[in-house]
Structure 1
Amino acid sequence: MKFKSAVTLLFSAIATQLSAAPIDPQNIQFIGPIGQNIQTKPHHTGHQSAIVNTLINKLSADSPSLEVFGEQVKWQPLADVNALTMGGLQALKLEFSTSRFVQGKLTLAGIEKAHVFLNGQQLDGKSAYQLNAVTGDHQLLIVAEQVSDWKKVAVDFTGTAEHDQLNFTSKSTKALSAKQLFDAPTISAISVSPDANYYVATQQHYQDNKGNAALRDTVLYNEDGDIIYRLNGVRANAVSWRADSKVAVFVQNKQLKTLDIKTLKETVIAEDLDGASGFKYFNDNTLIFSWTKTAPKGDKIVKHYKGLEDRWSYARNITQVYLMDISTGLIQAVTEHDLSHSLKDFDAKNNRILATRSPKYYAAPAHYMTELVEFDLNTNSSKVLGQYGTFNDARYGNDGIYVTAGAEFGNGAGRALDEGVLANNYDTQLFWMNTQGTDIKALSKKFDPSIESFKVLNNGDLVLKAVDEDRKKLYLFDESKNKFKSLKTKMDVVDKYSVADKRSPVVIAAGTTASTPQKLVQLNVKNNRVSTLWDSQPIAYKQAEIATLEEFNFTNSAGTEIKGRVYIPHGLDKNKQHPALIYYYGGTSPVSRGFTGRYPFNFWATNGYVVYVLQPSGATGFGQDFSAKHVNDWGNRAADDIIEGTNAFLDAYQFVDKKRLGNLGASYGGFMTMTLATKTDMFSASISHAGISNLTSYWGHGWWGYLYSAEASKHSYPWNNSKLYSQQSPVFNADKVKTPLLLIHGDADVNVPVGESHIMYTALKMLNQDVELIEYKGADHQIFARDRRFQWWDTMLAYFDKHLKDEPQWWQHMYGK
């Protein structure tokens, strides 16, 4: 067969049967012999798979050569191979691109014994292999054990249809892949010593042969970045330091240990403390920790509920705070009580502890109460400092206590709203109060970001992590000036951070920008200078094609600016029309600018979609006025924002096809997707993941439904506002839905029970509407496991390809016709 192009694989059709198309040997790279003196081939041993699999990572690397037993072997075009036969093993590499889902048959000729891998996954077969390749760049590796004549070796591909083509190119960049985004190494936990001379970091990654199990490596570094010690089986965030930074404490293999940093000697303090966690140095001689007693399983036939909280699987477990003498291991209970206690802070100098507990309380709002309790170890006494309907955290300051809570904390002390406007207490504010709990001052009324966490420095200042619009940033709160100062981490989203405060404050932080993968940085708080300690980009993304990011904001019909951003696929031809995906949440949080995550915008762009992400009214991080719009809205203003925003987006981006728009959201965003389907037909396909279809059933059945509704439906209940609970529930308007809808749900979801999707599915089926329901067995509210994550991502893209690209083959491959 003659080749019309050395770049593109072509097919010839005979009637309806497609003929095999030999792949040009110039598009096939060859390496060999690999270990030419090997006489016994892998298939003659009992370890064939292991021997071959150990080669795959090295063969798949972007390297021109391989060193085997001291000999250098280079890749070369298969066309240049003249040998009839050779010793050892040989390998072929094919790198190709697909502009859509491609399927067909790969056939090998002339190789008696071969192992075939597509993107690291081994394919079943002997001489013929089914090839299914999603949109993107791919690598096919063939390890040959037995070839009698290399001049007779050929690789053929037969596509199932004429559009099933493999494109061979010589481009130096690579499209982002699902495996790349999920498997790439990340820093999952960090802990810095008080003097900043050391830090512990846990790095994790995934690989094919380990399935869903993350590979973790926890390492102790000095300030120069040198490896000092490895802590196998330990998470860095569970490593705590003595005040002098000379000793660290951690749990390893069910043993509580200390590590002397100078001698690197480990000492076992105690063993088999099941349920114990959060060990910290109370002072040089004492540890403080929490210890949970798991409740008995109880009656096998019935469960007598003891309150609304009893729906939570952990509600009957009891957690208390304990002290342990390091030299003897003797343990002393601090907070024995019939209610669990959560340790918030301690002050060893004055022998006092701050903890919270939650007595049953269903009054409205917020149907929940937190008691802040101080325990005096000198007198073995305790006092309740206050009872609060909104409460997040508390820490000792120099002359009082810092608290984070909603604006209504302290009888509305944190409110920066007009009279009569209900505050969204998920918008977290900062307060100070005296140690008696009688004097409360709001510190963040003029600070729009919502505070997630904070660390009190020795001088009384704070390092805070705050949701700032769609970013998660670090700030310094200067106590003396009552001012917030942005810390320049050069990251959009700080995932994790740890603070050292023995000398000048230093922060170790890990995070990303919207367009760059994770880094680990060190920040000097005093001069606000940052340096990079570790960067995943050159490790896993050095050739990656990243979407172009553009900020896109508009002013809605109510006069409020709605922020957003647009991801434009790499190399997009703006002279053509392209499909687009619109993503939102609509609940109490903005959609983060993280580089990747459960909803990977950069990956969607790689698959040819322009992606518009917007932040509808009601999200935290934009100020109290903005977040208050969430209260008692349930899809009204937020839906209008999404519709208006999509129209503004279409006006601004003329290369987006108005007839090929997809929209999707999860949880409250899933509710928004269902709501939008009842309000507009502007979308061509919609996806709701774990969405709410009936506000009443979610309110009463979701584990935290009644608590979330205390803000989202403040003062409203099915008996006093049936209109809200019915007419603003999507299922009550199901007859208005005209858009194809995919419902996705974990069948073990306790947050938004799977029945919420079943209710909408039932309604739309009876209405003869185009609806699909995919359940993930054993999955809760989020899809975490690696294999399910890949399948889930594929499901969403396959569904949109079917409806927005008129390419149903991927969906049909996964779920049939």
Structure 2
Amino acid sequence: MKFSAPWSHQNKLFKHAATLLTLSSLSFATIAAPLDKSKIQFIGPLAEDMQLKPFQTPHGNAIINNLLPQLQADSDSFSVFGKKQNWQPFNKINALTLGGLQALKFNIETTRFTQGTLTLKGIEQGQLFINGELQTGDKNSYKLALNNSTHSILIVAQQVANWHDVMLDFAPKSDVDKITLSASQTKRLSAKQLFDAPTISQLSLAPNAKQYVTTTRTYSDKTQNQANTVTVLKDSDNQTLYRFEAGQPSNIIWSPDNQYLVYLLNGELKQLSRKNFSIKTLANDLEGANGFTFYNDTSLLFSWSKSPENTNSLTKHYKGLQDRWSYARTTSQIYMLDTKSGLTKALSQGPLSYSLEDSNSNRGKILMSRPVMAMQASTHPETELAELDLKSNKLSSLGKFKTFNLAKYANKDIYVVAGPDFKNGAGRALPKAMLANNYDGQLYLLTEGGKNVKALSKQFDSAIGQLQVLENGDALIKVTEQDTQPLYLFDLSKQRFKKLNTGLDIVEQFSYSHDRNTEVLLRGTNALAPQQLKRLNVSKNKTDLIWDSKPSSYANTRLPTLEEFNFKNKHGVEITGRVYIPSNLDKTKKHPALVYYYGGTSPVTRGFTGRYPFNLWAENGYVVYVVQPTGATGFGQKFSAQHVNAWGDYTADDIIEGTQAFLKKYNYVDSEKIGNLGASYGGFMTMLLATKTDIFSASIAHAGISNITSYWGEGWWGYLYSGEASKNSFPWNNPELYSQHSPVFHADKVTTPMLLLHGDSDTNVPVGESLTMYTALKLLNKDVELIEYKGADHQIFARDKRFDWWNTMLAYFDKKLKDEPQWWDSMYKND
């Protein structure tokens, strides 16, 4: 293809994780093809009376960078110095020279990792941008490596002697490296969109529902791992009243009298008047303070933690099991702050940490919890629920519980969220012989000062999560319901759950008003729809859309389609799942597929994106099957209880049976090109499946458990999690469970190629779990790779690491399932 210009740029090698746009020192043979100029869009001249071009000024880069957003936008036109400029096909341009600036843009479509050299001619001064990033090359040549995606090309021309001479050549590295030019604005979903697009990270609705606060977070190439955050105060008509410019507030709360907004900023507690926007500092020196909430109009409650001084000792004497946590000796107490005087007083004291559960100013009481002991040698540590009478300073115990999660006042009584075994099994809905899974949250009502308990959710299959209590005692409850996280209203008087019509698969966060006509501000996503901000009227059960990220960040973006796929396992139990099908898939051909699962005690939810981007995988050419095997919460207590003492028994069978049923239905999937992957417990499942089946052609385990015993003893929360997953079972009384269910003990049975991924600073599942499996498979001469992410814990959060991690997984599957090793080799061959 022809199209280009000699630009003098310094030759530079770089690799960007998001687009894998790399410059290398490879040599290429030029293969030219005629350029179809109709697929290139042209705009200009922009500011044709410009006396000095940007490159002739000391601020040229800044001038071009500030123009980029308009040039990259999907709009057909924009205005420059009062003159409307329109994009038009390049083949309709007939000019030798033009004043000001001009620009060309088009898309390059690739169907695989593609390498080659892009050569430009005819533009004497200009810049080339691919996916928004400025390229550098050697004179007029740019050596590229493009992943399987749609790549946006923008050329800003500052000086052209003759537009008839402008040409472009693409010389592929090999016969498999091909690109297709497209003038269409439609593009495939990209990793950058998923990570960088604006999302609301914080929201709060005023008690009278007349104002609300949101914090929006975005990322960009310019700021890299640093998020751009903007916090605004808006009215009920969604008009901005105040914008936080000096910094970004946190812990945003409203005074009950609707007069003030209080927040933390740079270690100071600030009070913003809702009437005139004046600001008052309420307190300073608040290091370690968090969880601020109003007790009444003029008093705040909060937790204040204190860490022990660093003694620089050569040794550490462990005081108990929890002492392996870096924060175990940090204590936290509850304090009250008077907003008028600034005086703070302590409400709790002692060696034990207290947590604020709730408060009720009408009753003059505070609900709090504390561990029974600082260092408890138990797989189910006890929590004591206590009530403080502020008038008498009397602290009364309401009970000691082993499966406690949270508590809230409900009129004269107390809501509690805890496992089925709470209060001697008050919430169990199981056969006597079955052990409950206490990660399956249940709702209770404590009455008569904690003496009596009533189970409210025994016949409600959803797992109870976040809970907020309304003025009349009813509760707004976020639950896990199969693979969704909806919002329910629990009617206290009728003892009934009512599902609220949010229109979202996943409610990520909600905030509610305190008036009679309760309104809820909430954010969330659907499986194929990115984040939305909505306002819900509870009495009408009607939702209004306030903000949608799709038009601004995902316009003209191709997304896969979604199909529900359920099957009955060999025990007659329905196992649910969903299938993401790539857009424009040719179903007359065979295609590779990926099978994803967790297998631990939670389902794989239907969020639009996250650590594992199913939509992105599908748009890279994989049919993606997400299966919800036995053991997860949200499907009823009996379903979740089968996670206990199983360690993959039911889960592995469900995944294998599900994959077989999936292949039977989706006959356009190539049964010889099936990959599987999971993380944490899902990583354990990946390793375990490799010892049980050869149905998969390539496997990835991220932060997986290879030896249950070492995870139980070394993972920060290993013994606590095992308190449910291995309930009443220990290496000394059930060695068969700990050994024979550990994948490394069956490593000799593995035949599937495997990639192990792990953060080298993982405290949850230590990196030794992958090292152990890697050692075994290497000694057995198996096909295994191990990639460690330096400084990463159990999850990969940082933008640069996230892009590299996503690319690593896709590159590995491309190599193993598509017979395309080039991407993987470009990343790791020369390490």
| Fold similarity call, TM over 0.5 | yes
Is the Cα contact below 8 Å between 2:419 and 2:441 reproduced in 1?
A: yes
Partner amino acid, structure 2, of 1:305: Y
The question of 1:350 aligning with 2:363 is answered: yes
Give the Cα–Cα distance (whole angstroms) in 2 for the partners of residues 684 and 96 of structure 1: 31
**CA-CA distance at 1:460 after TM superposition:** 0.9
Give the Cα–Cα distance (whole angstroms) in 1 for the partners of residues 135 and 333 of structure 2: 52
User: What pairs up with 1:248-647 in 2 under 5 angstroms?
Assistant: 248-360=261-373, 366-434=379-447, 436-647=449-660
1:376-400 Cα deviation digits (max 9, x unpaired): 2111221222111111100011111
**CA-CA distance at 1:204 after TM superposition:** 1.4
778-787 or 359-368, which moves further after superposition? 359-368
Give the Cα–Cα distance (whole angstroms) in 2 for the partners of residues 47 and 748 of structure 1: 43
The question of 1:32 aligning with 2:67 is answered: no
User: What pairs up with 1:72-91 in 2 under 5 angstroms?
Assistant: 72-91=84-103
Equivalent position to 2:792, from 763, 779, 790: 779
SS at match of 1:268: strand
Partner amino acid, structure 2, of 1:70: G
SS at match of 2:706: coil
Is the Cα contact below 8 Å between 1:234 and 1:251 reproduced in 2?
A: no
Is the Cα contact below 8 Å between 2:323 and 2:375 reproduced in 1?
A: no
Partner amino acid, structure 1, of 2:300: L
Structure 1 gap segments, 5+ residues each: 4-14
Equivalent position to 1:756, from 769, 779, 797: 769
Give the Cα–Cα distance (whole angstroms) in 2 for the partners of residues 713 and 196 of structure 1: 47
Is the Cα contact below 8 Å between 1:366 and 1:390 reproduced in 2?
A: no
Is the Cα contact below 8 Å between 1:123 and 1:130 reproduced in 2?
A: no
Is the Cα contact below 8 Å between 1:365 and 1:715 reproduced in 2?
A: no
Is the Cα contact below 8 Å between 2:322 and 2:376 reproduced in 1?
A: no
Partner in structure 2 of residue 69 of structure 1: 81
Equivalent position to 2:738, from 722, 725, 746: 725
Q: CA, structure 1 residues 245+234, in 2 after alignment: closer, same or farther (shift >3 Å)? A: farther
Partner amino acid, structure 2, of 1:594: G
**CA-CA distance at 1:520 after TM superposition:** 0.9
Is the Cα contact below 8 Å between 1:321 and 1:335 reproduced in 2?
A: yes
Give the Cα–Cα distance (whole angstroms) in 1 for the partners of residues 762 and 154 of structure 2: 40
The question of 1:49 aligning with 2:61 is answered: yes
145-154 or 675-684, which moves further after superposition? 145-154
SS at match of 1:481: coil
303-312 or 468-477, which moves further after superposition? 303-312
254-263 or 673-682, which moves further after superposition? 254-263
**CA-CA distance at 1:234 after TM superposition:** 6.4
**CA-CA distance at 1:19 after TM superposition:** 2.4
Give the Cα–Cα distance (whole angstroms) in 2 for the partners of residues 810 and 352 of structure 1: 62
Is the Cα contact below 8 Å between 2:465 and 2:480 reproduced in 1?
A: yes
1:62-120 Cα deviation digits (max 9, x unpaired): 12223222222322333333333333332221212111111111111122333221101
**CA-CA distance at 1:233 after TM superposition:** 6.4
Give the Cα–Cα distance (whole angstroms) in 2 for the partners of residues 610 and 562 of structure 1: 19
1:505-534 Cα deviation digits (max 9, x unpaired): 111111111111111111111121111111
Is the Cα contact below 8 Å between 2:30 and 2:170 reproduced in 1?
A: no
Partner amino acid, structure 1, of 2:285: D
Is the Cα contact below 8 Å between 2:106 and 2:182 reproduced in 1?
A: no
Give the Cα–Cα distance (whole angstroms) in 2 for the partners of residues 702 and 44 of structure 1: 60
Partner in structure 2 of residue 138 of structure 1: 151
Give the Cα–Cα distance (whole angstroms) in 2 for the partners of residues 275 and 37 of structure 1: 59
**CA-CA distance at 1:255 after TM superposition:** 2.4
Give the Cα–Cα distance (whole angstroms) in 2 for the partners of residues 301 and 48 of structure 1: 56
SS at match of 1:452: strand
Give the Cα–Cα distance (whole angstroms) in 1 for the partners of residues 819 and 802 of structure 2: 24
State the aligned residue count. 806
1:745-782 Cα deviation digits (max 9, x unpaired): 11111111111111111111111111111111111111
Is the Cα contact below 8 Å between 2:595 and 2:659 reproduced in 1?
A: yes
**CA-CA distance at 1:236 after TM superposition:** 7.2
Structure 2 gap segments, 5+ residues each: 4-26
Give the Cα–Cα distance (whole angstroms) in 1 for the partners of residues 324 and 159 of structure 2: 61
Partner in structure 1 of residue 236 of structure 2: 223
Partner in structure 2 of residue 656 of structure 1: 669
**CA-CA distance at 1:196 after TM superposition:** 1.2
Give the Cα–Cα distance (whole angstroms) in 1 for the partners of residues 559 and 50 of structure 2: 43
SS at match of 1:521: strand
Give the Cα–Cα distance (whole angstroms) in 1 for the partners of residues 375 and 291 of structure 2: 30
Give the Cα–Cα distance (whole angstroms) in 1 for the partners of residues 495 and 406 of structure 2: 19
Q: What is the TM-score with the length of structure 1 in the denominator?
A: 0.96
1:176-227 Cα deviation digits (max 9, x unpaired): 1111111111111111111111111111111221111111111111111111
Give the Cα–Cα distance (whole angstroms) in 2 for the partners of residues 665 and 34 of structure 1: 51
Partner amino acid, structure 1, of 2:362: K
Give the Cα–Cα distance (whole angstroms) in 2 for the partners of residues 422 and 364 of structure 1: 21
Give the Cα–Cα distance (whole angstroms) in 2 for the partners of residues 2 and 173 of structure 1: 23
Partner amino acid, structure 1, of 2:75: S
Partner amino acid, structure 2, of 1:791: D
SS at match of 1:392: strand
**CA-CA distance at 1:600 after TM superposition:** 1.0
Partner in structure 2 of residue 114 of structure 1: 126
Q: CA, structure 1 residues 172+55, in 2 after alignment: closer, same or farther (shift >3 Å)? A: closer
SS at match of 1:39: coil
**CA-CA distance at 1:785 after TM superposition:** 1.1
Partner amino acid, structure 2, of 1:452: G
User: What pairs up with 1:654-803 in 2 under 5 angstroms?
Assistant: 654-803=667-816
Give the Cα–Cα distance (whole angstroms) in 2 for the partners of residues 635 and 300 of structure 1: 43
Give the Cα–Cα distance (whole angstroms) in 1 for the partners of residues 679 and 763 of structure 2: 14
**CA-CA distance at 1:637 after TM superposition:** 0.8
Give the Cα–Cα distance (whole angstroms) in 2 for the partners of residues 236 and 226 of structure 1: 19
Is the Cα contact below 8 Å between 1:581 and 1:661 reproduced in 2?
A: yes
Give the Cα–Cα distance (whole angstroms) in 1 for the partners of residues 68 and 340 of structure 2: 50
Partner in structure 1 of residue 15 of structure 2: none
1:349-383 Cα deviation digits (max 9, x unpaired): 22211111124488786342211121121112212
Give the Cα–Cα distance (whole angstroms) in 2 for the partners of residues 532 and 490 of structure 1: 10
Give the Cα–Cα distance (whole angstroms) in 2 for the partners of residues 132 and 752 of structure 1: 35
Q: CA, structure 1 residues 642+365, in 2 after alignment: closer, same or farther (shift >3 Å)? A: farther
Give the Cα–Cα distance (whole angstroms) in 2 for the partners of residues 108 and 172 of structure 1: 23
Partner amino acid, structure 1, of 2:48: Q
**CA-CA distance at 1:723 after TM superposition:** 1.1
Partner in structure 1 of residue 13 of structure 2: none
Give the Cα–Cα distance (whole angstroms) in 2 for the partners of residues 241 and 512 of structure 1: 26
Q: CA, structure 1 residues 37+314, in 2 after alignment: closer, same or farther (shift >3 Å)? A: farther
Give the Cα–Cα distance (whole angstroms) in 2 for the partners of residues 650 and 637 of structure 1: 20
Percent identical among aligned pairs is 56
Is the Cα contact below 8 Å between 1:118 and 1:141 reproduced in 2?
A: yes
SS at match of 2:91: helix
1:519-555 Cα deviation digits (max 9, x unpaired): 1111111121111111111111221212111111111
Q: What is the TM-score with the length of structure 2 in the denominator?
A: 0.94
**CA-CA distance at 1:300 after TM superposition:** 4.3
Q: CA, structure 1 residues 240+16, in 2 after alignment: closer, same or farther (shift >3 Å)? A: closer
